[in-house]
């Protein structure tokens, strides 16, 4: 079965410190992975996807198929990065859907 | 352009009642997905509709159903409500299927409380 695990429910760092939000997945097919973010009082929105290999708001994420991970990283956290972050896996082949992890709440302290 | 619109935003229902939630996708989007969000289970996929056809369904009982109209607007219905159905119900729309890498855009959700 497809599964996305975000082991940390809460993560707290200081401004300027590096941050890494962990995401591990379980899927037998070819994975397509995403990070979604929800800022306070805003809608859930796409942050980045592994296919585009882009950096959004200083965040990057690399798909590691060997470790089945898709960790989200930023070298210098900012207070405005405080939000709820969800990792998601897109499944294909007869059971197409988007499977979300339970999310990690990131707090960046001043 | 207008985002995904969900109505009603808040509602309270009694156990045993049924509820219908509505979702208007972004103009031009043909796919609408529904998710249930709870503190304990996070975001769980309910179903996805594309061009008026249900493309996939999550692991929810038959009390949860949905439909999509020709204008891509979608409704979901929950019958015989249970206390555990209290949740935020999120609708998301995309141009194509969410599993095909299309960016999905979420609405603000409908908060359902069952008492």
Write the Ramachandran bin of B100: left for phi over 0, alpha for psi from -120 to 50, otherwise beta. Answer: alpha
Q: Give mean pLDDT, residues B71-83.
A: 97
Please report which confidence band the pLDDT of residue B1 belongs to, taking 50, 70 and 90 as the band edges.
low
pLDDT along chain A (110 residues), means of 10: 91 97 91 91 90 84 92 96 94 70 96
Q: How far apart (Å, rounded) are the C-alpha atoms in residues B44 and A86?
A: 12
Residue A94 φ/ψ region, left for φ over 0, alpha for ψ in the -120 to 50 degree band, beta for the rest: left
Is A90 in contact with B41 (Cβ distance < 8 A)?
A: no
- Contact assignment for A97 to B45 by CB distance below 8 Å: yes
Q: How far is B108 from chain A (nearest CA, A)?
A: 6
Tell me whether B48 touches chain A (CB under 8 Å): yes
The closest of A67, A90, A45, A68 to A59, measured between CA atoms, is A45
Do A23 and A70 touch, CB atoms closer than 8 A? yes
Q: Is A31 on the interface with B (CB under 8 A)?
A: no
d(CA A95, CA A75): 36
Contact A101, A6 (CB under 8 A): yes
Task: Name the average pLDDT for chain A.
Answer: 90
Helices then strands, each counted (H, E), chain A: 0, 11
CA torsion through residues B98, B102, B106, B107, sign: negative
Distance (Å) from the alpha carbon of A9 to chain B's nearest alpha carbon: 11
Q: A102 to chain B: nearest residue by CA?
A: B42
Q: Which of B34, B66, B99 to mutate to test the interface with A (most CBs of A within 10 A)?
A: B99
Chain B nearest-CA residue for A88 = B43
Q: What pLDDT score was predicted for residue A19?
A: 97
Structure tokens at A63: 């798909």
Question: What does the buried/exposed string (b/e) look like for A45-58 if buried means 16 or more CB atoms within 10 Å of the residue's CB?
Answer: eebbbbeeeeeeee
Q: What local confidence, expressed as pLDDT, does residue A95 receive? A: 53
Query: B3 to chain A: nearest residue by CA?
Result: A43
Strand partners, A45: A37
Query: What are the tens digits of pLDDT across the range B21-57?
Result: 999 999 999 999 999 999 888 899 999 999 999 988 8
């Amino acid at each position: 079965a497809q599964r996305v695990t975000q082991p940390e429910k809460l993560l707290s760092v200081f401004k300027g410190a590096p941050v890494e939000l962990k995401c591990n997945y379980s899927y037998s097919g070819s994975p397509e992975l995403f990070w979604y973010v929800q800022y306070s009082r805003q809608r859930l929105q796409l942050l980045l996807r592994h296919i585009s290999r882009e950096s959004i708001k200083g965040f990057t994420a690399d798909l590691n198929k060997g470790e089945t991970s898709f960790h989200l990283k930023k070298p210098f956290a900012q207070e405005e990065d405080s939000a709820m972050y969800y990792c998601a896996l897109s499944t294909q082949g007869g059971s197409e859907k988007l499977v979300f992890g339970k999310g990690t709440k990131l707090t960046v302290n001043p | 352009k207008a985002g995904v619109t969900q109505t009603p935003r808040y509602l309270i229902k009694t156990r045993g009642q049924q509820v219908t939630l509505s979702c208007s996708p972004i103009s031009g989007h043909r796919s609408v997905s529904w998710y249930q969000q709870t503190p304990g289970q996070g975001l769980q996929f309910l179903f996805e509709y594309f061009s008026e056809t249900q493309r996939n369904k999550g692991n929810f009982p038959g009390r949860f159903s949905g439909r999509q109209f020709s204008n891509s607007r979608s409704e979901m219905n929950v019958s015989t409500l249970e206390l555990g159905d209290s949740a935020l119900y999120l609708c998301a729309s995309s141009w194509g299927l969410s599993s095909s890498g299309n960016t999905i855009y979420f609405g603000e959700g409908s908060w359902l409380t069952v008492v």
